[in-house]
Structure 1
Amino acid sequence: MSCPECFSGAVHEGTPTGTVTKLHGLDVYVAEPSSGNPPKAIIVLIPDIFGWTFVNLQLMADSFAKKKDYRVYIPEFMNGNAAPPSMLESLQKVIVPKTWYETFSKPYHILWLLVTAFPAIYLNRPGRTFPIVKSFMESLRQNEAAHLPVGVTGYCWGGKHTVLLAEGFTVDSKPLMDAGFTAHPSFLSLFGEIEKMTVPVSFAIGDKDNQVSPTQAKELEKIVLNKPDGQKGECRVYAGYGHGFACRGDVLNDDPKGAVEAEDQALAWFEKHFEGIKY
């Protein structure tokens, strides 16, 4: 499925404060609690199509770690095949050109988007990348997270993988993740993948999202709310927001309130579901 909005938005300002290391065979961005306290849980942030080095998501990882004393990992799940952030500027000029020159240059930007977008989508198709994600999660659970709760948060491309992980995979009789969150997930197979979930997942979806319509979001919410205790999810629809609002901004709505509230939604969900977990 094509998703032009998967490549839209903006690069945020700021300097990430985490470190880069090698973990279970992958390059990983790591954000540690700024308090100096031991981490009370581990969050794996699965990025959008712009990958693990995208500054917006590294800043978000820093924020998660600072606010809740989590250790946050952003692994390189794409083997160097992430889309370049420069695509954001090109798509912005295609969707909402601000000058006559940007209007005149639209064919150039469309060609550039085609040349860069399709390889990123093809090389990062879930059938190819999910085994890498699952293997990393297994190693993480057996090592760093052997005695800690694990949450997974996924954006756009990463949302698909969050939903797949929620099917209830285990290692050493422990779930690979204890709770999940996803904002504007892409490429979902609705509603079969939602029905297969056995791990509680919180969804944040804009009512102008091109991947999940308001009608589909309502059905999604019905499915996750009707799951048994311990598996129930939630779905919040953000009025006036489109695809990408939680991590890149939205070309249709540049109000950052939605992104702030989506982050609060994720943190509240993890706090709720990590309570009482001991391994």
Structure 2
Amino acid sequence: MQSCCFRGFQWNGTPKGKTEPFPTSTNQAYVTGVNKDTAIMLVHDAFGWSFGNNRLLADHLAEEVNATVYLPDLFGGEVLPSDSLSDRSRWGDFDMDGFQKRNSRAIREPELFECAKHLRSQYKKVGAIGYCYGGWAVFRLAAKGHNLVDCVVAGHPSWVTRNDIDGVDVPTQILAPEIDHAYTDELKEHTWETLQKHSVPFDYQHFPGVEHACLVRGDPKRPGERDAMIRGKNAAVGWFKQYLHRY
């Protein structure tokens, strides 16, 4: 992850959901919504499952899509303090190299798949959305042969590889800020070309003038970031409505 993955703004608001074991007692998840047929897994960014912005986004998806949204802890209980968003002088206090090693793709992917398999066994339709760190995760869930999700949304994804993009086999929406050192121009172009060649339904949303992380940690007081946040949320809601409510 780049330094941009740890920048941003903390939103005001009180989450409406609850926490519960998921899928076993070794994991916890924030759960919001009451739909018994349709579920969405939100894979958190670097600030983890307890970060207020992630939970508020889960609430919006649950209400506007009409789905039960699960935001599982994929960092083994470890979280980055959200107040560091407004105090960059604290960044040097964190062992970022160790944090990334402890939460590498290889370590966390088995848990990710276990969570998705649990939802697949309980619901008729399952979607996944991931921002930043969660971006690579939804690409993996969307891979051919897994049959774990019916559609995905990736917002300014990090740690994504060309192989991840090559494997996508379900309807995919990309929310891509113009300025992004993690989801590079090369990866953006490869996504566009590859999904067309594979005849996968996809929607590529370009957000001019804004940076990586704006969709989950944007500043509501900055017009460009506020507009991007609203547009990004609405785009994801529309995508999930289209592909999760067709039985």
Q: TM-score, normalised by structure 2?
A: 0.91
CA contact (8 A) 1:217 1:235 kept: no
> Could you tell me which of 76, 79, 87 is aligned with 2:76?
79
Query: 1:124 and 1:13, CA in 2 relative to 1: closer, same or farther beyond 3 A?
Result: same
More displaced stretch, 38-47 vs 51-60 = 38-47
2:39 aligned partner: 42
More displaced stretch, 23-32 vs 245-254 = 245-254
In structure 1, what is the Cα distance between the partners aligned to 2:171 and 2:20? 30
Partner SS state of residue 209, structure 2: coil
More displaced stretch, 264-273 vs 236-245 = 264-273
1:263 aligned partner: 233
Q: Which amino acid aligns with 2:83?
A: S
In structure 2, what is the Cα distance between the partners aligned to 1:269 and 1:24? 26
Query: 1:259 and 1:140, CA in 2 relative to 1: closer, same or farther beyond 3 A?
Result: same
In structure 2, what is the Cα distance between the partners aligned to 1:201 and 1:246? 17
How far has the Cα of 1:39 moved from its partner?
A: 4.3
2:87 aligned partner: 90
1:237 aligned partner: 206
CA contact (8 A) 2:140 2:164 kept: yes
1:132 aligned partner: 111
CA contact (8 A) 1:178 1:199 kept: yes
2:4 aligned partner: 5
In structure 2, what is the Cα distance between the partners aligned to 1:125 and 1:215? 23
How far has the Cα of 1:169 moved from its partner?
A: 4.4
In structure 1, what is the Cα distance between the partners aligned to 2:90 and 2:80? 15
Query: 1:52 and 1:109, CA in 2 relative to 1: closer, same or farther beyond 3 A?
Result: closer
> Could you tell me which of 180, 184, 188 is aligned with 1:209?
180
1:117 aligned partner: 96
Give structure 1 stretches of 5+ with no counterpart: 92-107
Q: How many residues align?
A: 244
CA contact (8 A) 1:83 1:117 kept: no
How far has the Cα of 1:275 moved from its partner?
A: 4.0
Query: 1:199 and 1:239, CA in 2 relative to 1: closer, same or farther beyond 3 A?
Result: same
Query: Identity over aligned residues, as a percent?
Result: 23
CA contact (8 A) 1:29 1:75 kept: yes
**2:204 maps to 1:223:** no
**2:4 maps to 1:28:** no
Q: Which amino acid aligns with 2:231?
A: E
CA contact (8 A) 2:139 2:168 kept: yes
Partner SS state of residue 24, structure 1: coil
In structure 2, what is the Cα distance between the partners aligned to 1:164 and 1:47? 15
Give the superposed CA RMSD.
2.0
Query: 1:257 and 1:178, CA in 2 relative to 1: closer, same or farther beyond 3 A?
Result: same
Q: TM-score, normalised by structure 1?
A: 0.81
- Higher Cα radius of gyration: 1
In structure 2, what is the Cα distance between the partners aligned to 1:250 and 1:129? 30
Partner SS state of residue 96, structure 2: helix
How far has the Cα of 1:65 moved from its partner?
A: 1.1
In structure 2, what is the Cα distance between the partners aligned to 1:7 and 1:124? 15
In structure 2, what is the Cα distance between the partners aligned to 1:242 and 1:250? 11
Partner SS state of residue 198, structure 2: coil
Partner SS state of residue 51, structure 1: coil
How far has the Cα of 1:165 moved from its partner?
A: 1.0
Q: Which amino acid aligns with 2:173?
A: S
In structure 1, what is the Cα distance between the partners aligned to 2:90 and 2:48? 21
Partner SS state of residue 153, structure 1: strand
Q: Which amino acid aligns with 1:61?
A: A
Query: 1:225 and 1:269, CA in 2 relative to 1: closer, same or farther beyond 3 A?
Result: farther
Partner SS state of residue 80, structure 1: coil
**2:16 maps to 1:17:** yes
